[in-house]
């Protein structure tokens, strides 16, 4: 007898092949049948013409701490997501070594959030063990985060690593890969990633390549420097032999709109030369990051305390203000090309300034009776640098082009700090893809879209036998109504669950039933195929 049969569904199996009507049988956490199932089962669910698909994979998220804090993972399960990939953009909670523990915590806080409990790990493997023991409702895989690796060894020092420091980083990276990390993530926009030369990164990537892992990269510049930045990471991949994945590919700033086309051509040219390069994209024309990323790179040196000291110094403040008002050749001054009205304050920790959440910086500067640059710097000082923003700096036509690109997968890039007015992608990415871009705009077929959020990310991140409706594969399953699926989250009201997701199973266990979380926590840590987590519980 089977444990579960889902009957009468439109089966979209994850391959990209046309859908067909049929049933799916499950026993002991694995798919046993796809098509006609003439057996008895302990439980039967009638899908009534809804789509039965593999569970969705969020291939770029920042839920590293959120999954420990909120292991029910409802924000993603409500979207049909059964697996999250964390450790992105060079930002991760491990390794966590003295004397830089506080430096790491303040570095990741604007993106990963803050916890009320102590971090009990030291190494990447310790953190993975903690992740495993959290028993989240969704599966999780992770990268080793380069920024955290560099901070553990040399803090925020703005200089090349010495041979000894590089050797220490390589050892820790090797340990992380052996523990099951899927690769190395770098965030070249953020200090200390921004202090690292391509040669130093290529040397680290040789370790990743040796383990068959992936380099995921938040490139150095997504505005004026988009094309040189894509060329830089392709050079690193070529030099080290590592497979490359470009995170959240976009052209930021009005003067750069249209240049994603050239970025995609660089990726295609690299693939033609035999390099394994892919990318991901979120289906929104606004991004989300920390307010500090607006500052010139030199102002970010030395970690958050050093930044705040500069903002208090009248001479340095004047220099920052002056640079923000002029085009820059060596860094992306996005606020100049899209304006202060495109910067929207999304999460403010203090009670005193919370009323400014959901307002544009242009509006805030008028309210404060100050130039926008001064208002921004004063807010950063008041909030000790911990301010999240939503940034309207992309063209919808560019977003559509990357979504349609055959070698892009779809991911949320959701932040771990979901307070205030977070970017709606945290709650709406996957239903938005299937509602807006498939049903309404017909940018992709249903089968193409499902491939981009199931089998393609599983293959890319080496997540084993998932992502396809195939006998023997893990029963991570999502049932949704293709006629009603849509995102409910908006920029003004972002914490709204979507509609149209009916049922979700993780490893054969029901975690969502008719839009409600069952309380089941059947997710597991997914080591990259062939690797293993060396946890001893």
Predicted confidence (pLDDT) at residue 528 exceeds the cutoff of 60:
yes
Q: Give me the pLDDT at residue 537, please.
A: 40
Q: Give me the pLDDT at residue 189, please.
A: 87
Least confident piece of the model among 80-84, 113-117, 183-187: 113-117
Average pLDDT over residues 311-334: 92
Going from the C-alpha of 390 to that of each of 256, 340, 342, 363, 526, the distances in angstroms are 19, 12, 8, 14, 31
Query: What sign does the CA torsion over 218, 487, 66, 361 have?
Result: positive
Confidence band, pLDDT 50/70/90 cuts, at residue 531: low
Average pLDDT over residues 423-433: 97
Average pLDDT over residues 98-122: 92
The residues, ordered by sequence, that sit 6+ positions from 105 with a Cβ below 8 Å of its Cβ are 114, 119
Of 103, 152, 95, the residue nearest 128 (C-alpha):
95
HEC readout, 113-142:
CCCCCCCCCCCHHHHHHHHHHCCCCCEEEE
312 phi, psi to nearest 5 deg: -90, -15
What pLDDT digit, counting tens, does each position of 55-87 carry? 999 999 999 999 999 999 999 999 999 999 999
Q: Give me the pLDDT at residue 535, please.
A: 58
Q: Give me the pLDDT at residue 536, please.
A: 41
Q: Who wins on pLDDT, 335 or 82? A: 82
* Domain 56-285+394-460 CATH (choose: 3.40.50.720, 3.20.20.140, 3.30.1050.10, 3.10.20.30): 3.20.20.140
Average pLDDT over residues 171-185: 97
Q: Give me the pLDDT at residue 533, please.
A: 53
Q: In 328-420, which ranges are E strands?
A: 343-347, 388-391, 408-410
Q: Who wins on pLDDT, 356 or 302? A: 356
Q: Could you count the other beta carbons within 10 Å of the beta carbon of residue 135?
A: 12
The residues, ordered by sequence, that sit 6+ positions from 309 with a Cβ below 8 Å of its Cβ are none
What pLDDT digit, counting tens, does each position of 15-34 carry? 999 999 999 999 999 999 99
End-to-end Cα spacing for the chain: 33
HEC readout, 249-299:
CCCCCHHHCCCHHHHHHHHHHHHHCCCCEEEEECCCCCEEEEHHHHCCHHH
Confidence band, pLDDT 50/70/90 cuts, at residue 327: confident
Q: Give me the pLDDT at residue 262, please.
A: 98
Going from the C-alpha of 115 to that of each of 87, 90, 159, 182, 209, the distances in angstroms are 16, 19, 31, 25, 34
Q: Taking a C-beta distance cutoff of 8 angstroms, is the pair 265, 349 a contact?
A: no
Distance CA 497, CA 76 (A): 9
Going from the C-alpha of 274 to that of each of 9, 205, 243, 330, 532, the distances in angstroms are 40, 18, 10, 30, 29
Confidence band, pLDDT 50/70/90 cuts, at residue 530: low
- Return the C-alpha torsion angle 453, 456, 457, 458, nearest 10: 110
Q: Give me the pLDDT at residue 49, please.
A: 87
Of 520, 32, 53, the residue nearest 4 (C-alpha):
32
**Tokens found for residue 148:** 């955290």
Q: Taking a C-beta distance cutoff of 8 angstroms, is the pair 362, 340 a contact?
A: yes
Q: Give me the pLDDT at residue 354, please.
A: 93
Domain boundaries, the chain: 2-54+473-489+496-517, 56-285+394-460, 298-390
Average pLDDT over residues 274-296: 95
Predicted confidence (pLDDT) at residue 35 exceeds the cutoff of 70:
yes
Going from the C-alpha of 430 to that of each of 90, 427, 487, the distances in angstroms are 24, 9, 8
Least confident piece of the model among 145-154, 289-298, 304-313, 499-508: 289-298
Average pLDDT over residues 120-139: 96
Q: Taking a C-beta distance cutoff of 8 angstroms, is the pair 29, 471 a contact?
A: no
465 phi, psi to nearest 5 deg: -85, 70
Confidence band, pLDDT 50/70/90 cuts, at residue 330: confident
Least confident piece of the model among 347-361, 400-414, 476-490: 347-361
Q: Taking a C-beta distance cutoff of 8 angstroms, is the pair 511, 478 a contact?
A: no
Distance CA 83, CA 483 (A): 24
Confidence band, pLDDT 50/70/90 cuts, at residue 304: confident
* Domain 2-54+473-489+496-517 CATH (choose: 3.40.50.2000, 3.90.380.10, 2.30.40.10, 3.30.450.20): 2.30.40.10
Q: Taking a C-beta distance cutoff of 8 angstroms, is the pair 58, 411 a contact?
A: yes
CA 113 to chain centre: 14
Q: State the DSSP code for 433.
A: I
Q: Give me the pLDDT at residue 529, please.
A: 76
Average pLDDT over residues 467-483: 98
**Tokens found for residue 170:** 């390589």
Buried b / exposed e over 86-123, threshold 16 CB at 10 Å, is bbbbbbbbbbbbeebeebbbbbbbbbbbbeeeebebeb
Peptide bond into 221 cis (omega under 30): no
Question: Which residue has tokens 């130039």?
Answer: 371
């Amino acid at each position: 007898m089977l444990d579960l049969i889902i009957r009468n569904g439109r089966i979209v199996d994850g391959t990209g092949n046309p859908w067909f009507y049929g049933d799916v049988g499950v026993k002991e956490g694995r798919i046993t049948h796809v098509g006609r199932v003439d057996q008895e089962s302990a439980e039967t669910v009638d899908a009534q013409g809804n789509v039965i698909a593999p569970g969705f994979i969020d291939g770029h998220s920042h839920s590293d701490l959120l999954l420990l804090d909120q292991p029910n993972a409802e924000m993603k399960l409500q979207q049909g997501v059964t697996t999250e990939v964390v450790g992105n953009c060079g930002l991760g909670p491990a390794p966590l070594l003295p004397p830089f523990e506080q430096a790491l915590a303040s570095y990741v806080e604007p993106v990963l959030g803050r916890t009320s409990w102590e971090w009990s790990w030291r190494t990447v493997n310790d953190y993975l063990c903690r992740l495993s023991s959290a028993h989240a409702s969704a599966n999780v895989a992770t990268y080793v985060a380069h920024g955290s690796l560099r901070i553990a060894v040399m803090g925020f020092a703005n200089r090349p690593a010495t041979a000894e420091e590089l050797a220490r980083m390589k050892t820790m990276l090797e340990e992380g890969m052996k523990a099951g990390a899927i690769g190395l993530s770098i965030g070249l926009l953020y200090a200390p990633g921004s202090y690292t030369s391509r040669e130093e990164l290529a040397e680290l990537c040789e370790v990743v390549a040796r383990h068959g892992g992936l380099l995921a990269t938040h490139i150095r510049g997504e505005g004026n420097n988009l094309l040189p930045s894509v060329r830089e990471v392709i050079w690193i991949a070529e030099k080290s032999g590592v497979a490359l994945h470009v995170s959240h590919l976009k052209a930021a700033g009005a003067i750069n709109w249209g240049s994603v086309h050239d970025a995609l051509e660089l990726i295609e040219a690299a693939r033609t030369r035999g390099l394994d390069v892919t990318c991901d994209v979120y289906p929104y024309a606004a991004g989300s990051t920390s307010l500090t990323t607006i500052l010139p790179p030199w102002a970010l040196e030395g970690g958050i305390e050093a930044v705040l000291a500069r903002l208090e110094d009248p001479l340095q403040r004047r220099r920052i203000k002056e640079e923000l008002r002029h085009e820059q050749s060596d860094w992306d001054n996005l606020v100049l090309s899209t304006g202060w009205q495109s910067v929207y304050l999304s999460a403010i920790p203090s009670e005193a300034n919370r009323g400014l959440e959901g307002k544009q910086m242009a509006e805030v500067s008028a309210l404060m009776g100050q130039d926008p640059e001064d208002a921004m710097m004063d807010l950063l000082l008041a909030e000790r640098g911990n301010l999240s923003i939503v940034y309207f700096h992309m063209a919808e036509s560019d977003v559509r082009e990357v979504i349609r690109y055959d070698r892009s997968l779809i991911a949320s890039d959701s932040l771990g700090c979901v307070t205030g007015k977070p970017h709606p992608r945290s709650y709406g990415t996957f239903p938005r893809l299937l509602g807006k871009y498939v049903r309404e705009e017909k940018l992709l077929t249903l089968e193409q879209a499902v491939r981009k959020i199931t089998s393609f990310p599983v293959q890319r991140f080496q997540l084993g036998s998932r992502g396809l409706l195939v006998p023997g594969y893990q029963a991570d399953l999502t049932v949704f109504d293709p006629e009603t699926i849509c995102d409910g989250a908006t920029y003004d009201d972002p914490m709204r669950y979507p509609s149209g997701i009916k049922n979700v199973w993780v490893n054969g266990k029901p975690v969502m039933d008719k839009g409600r979380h069952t309380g089941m926590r059947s997710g597991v840590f997914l080591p990259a195929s062939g690797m293993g987590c060396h946890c001893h519980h």
